Each structure stands twice: as structure tokens, then as C-alpha cells.
Amino acid sequence: MTQLQGAAPIVVLRGVWKTYRLGSLPVHALRDVSLALRAGDLVAIMGASGSGKSTLMNVIGCLDLPDRGSYLLEREDVRSLSERQLASVRNGKIGFVFQGFNLIARTPALENVELPLVYAGVGRRQRRRRATEALEQVGLGDRLRNQMTELSGGQQQRVAIARALVTNPTMLLADEPTGALDSETSRSVLGLFSRINAEGRTVVLITHDEDVAACAKRVVHLLDGSIVGDERRAALDDPPPALAPPVALHGSAG
């Protein structure tokens, strides 16, 4: 990905509302959210539980549609897409990483990573090659045949990241990616995200954890469904903070 493309906004949310019903009470999970994310950025969307950050991730990830407002993903109006097209968008443009890994049980790592390519209709041989590359990229080149039960939490999350990367998506969308990991494993997974970003891929981290946000170049704060803060901590073209000299990392890790 070149710096030129890096300047163009890939996600543009304008006046997005999302309302759920809890019994007879409407709950506004998102209130008039407007947000633009640029290619090549490493963004953390922060907020406490109930702030609407998961809803925002669902909307950005095309798992859910906004009730009001517009969402353009690479200039395409997501609200006008059919269910079929949405599935294709999720498959090709977005790579999800979840807190609970969400890998398919009793299935080897390689096949888990291949799965998005299976759904994309990629041929068997090419699939195998790309999935192997993705696993090598996350440092699991020697764990292709392992079942999920044979892998540690950190390794499972790496498999999930490989699965998210394998389709070469527009952005990686990670929901509390370190929520189920110990601090050391968390650091190594965050390092992986930083490296992926340094290679030019857009990464969006949804988290409540300041340690996670410390890796981001830009931090967006959500509160009660509205954006209450938006700070840039590193320039878009700069390397991610976690890859900056160790002094800076120590400073933020406390």
C-alpha cells in the first residue's frame, strides 16, 4: 500500500444513529456519530463498557447497518448493499479479530485461516499457499496442522489475525484483541498489530484498555454513544508508537 492511497479516507461515517430496544425502552447505542478513518492509520476506539464501541465496530465491520446516517466504505454506500454484497464486503475488505478468538473448533490452524478464502471461492492450492503465508507472517509457520486445543491463547489469537489478514483486507478490525490474554502475550500481539500497520495496512482496535490504545497513532473516545475525544498521537506516516524506540514504550506502559 502506498502513501498516496494512505491519505484517502476509507471509512466515512456521517451522522450515524443506532438504536436498540430493550423491552419498550429505546437504547441509543450510537448518537450522531461522524468519523473518517484514513488508510494506513492505526486507530484505537476507546470507551467503557456500554459506550457503544461494540456497536460502532459492528457498523464499521458491516455486521450491522446504521438506522440513520450514512456509511461509505471505500466510497461505497454500505446501506444500499444487499445481504449478499455485505457478506462479500466482510469477506474481502474487512478482517475481524475478536476478543474470544472465534476460531472454528476441532479444525486445524491452516483450515481456519483458509476459511475466508474458501468462501471467496479461491482454489485449493492457492488457498493453501496464502494461508500458509499468513500463518508464517504471524509467526506460526510451524503450527499449521495444530488443532485449536493444542495452541495457547496467544497462538490462537495469532491464528485469528492470520485469518483476518489472509484475504488481504482493506482494514483489520479488532475487538478487544487482548482481552483474553495475559500482559506479556498482549504485548506481543499488540506488537504484531503494530508491525502489520507498519507494513501499510489499516488497523482499527476497539478497546477499553489504555495499554492497547497506547499503540495507536490516533485514539477516538466514545461515551454514551457519542464521540467525546479524538486525539492524534502519531502522524499517519510515522511508524506505530510500539515500534518507536523502547524509551517511549516504557514511558506509556508505566
Partner 1 sequence: MNVLDSVRIALRAIRANRLRSGLTMLGLAIGVGAVILLVALGNGAQRAINKQLEDLGTNTLTVFPRGVIGPNKGTQSRPPKLSLDDVAALQRRGPAAGIRRVVPVITPSATMVWNGTSYSPQVLAGTTPLYLATQNFAVARGRLFDETDDRERRRVMLVGQTVIRKLFGGESPIGQRVAVNGSRFEVIGVLASRGGGPVDQDDLVVAPLGAVESNLTGANPDLGSILVQATSRSTIPLAQRTIRSTLLDTHHITDVNDADFDIFNQSMILEVANKTTAILTLLLAGVAGISLLVGGIGVMNIMLVTVSERTREIGIRKAIGAQRSQIIGQFLLEALVLSGLGGLIGVVGGVGLGSLGTKAFQPAVSLTSVIVAFSVSVLVGLFFGLYPANRAAALRPIDALRYE
Residues that bind partner 1 (CB under 8 A): 58, 61, 63-64, 83-84, 87-92, 96, 98, 102-107, 111, 115-116, 118-121, 124, 163, 167
Listed residue (237, 120, 206, 229) closest to 193, CA to CA: 206
Beta carbon nearer to partner 1, 99 or 194: 99
Q: Looking at beta carbons only, is 17 or 119 nearer to partner 1?
A: 119
Measured from the CB atom, the residue of 70 and 147 that comes closer to partner 1 is: 147
Task: Pick between residue 170 and residue 194 the one whose CB is nearest to partner 1.
Answer: 170
Angle of the 153-165 helix axis to the 183-198 helix axis, nearest 10:
20
Q: How far is the CB of 214 from partner 1 (least distance, A)?
A: 27
Residue 96 CB, nearest approach to partner 1 (Å): 5
Residue 95 Cβ vs partner 1, minimum distance, rounded to whole Å: 8
Q: How far is the CB of 34 from partner 1 (least distance, A)?
A: 22
Residue (86 or 198) nearer to partner 1, CB: 86
Least Cβ distance, residue 8 to partner 1 (angstroms): 23
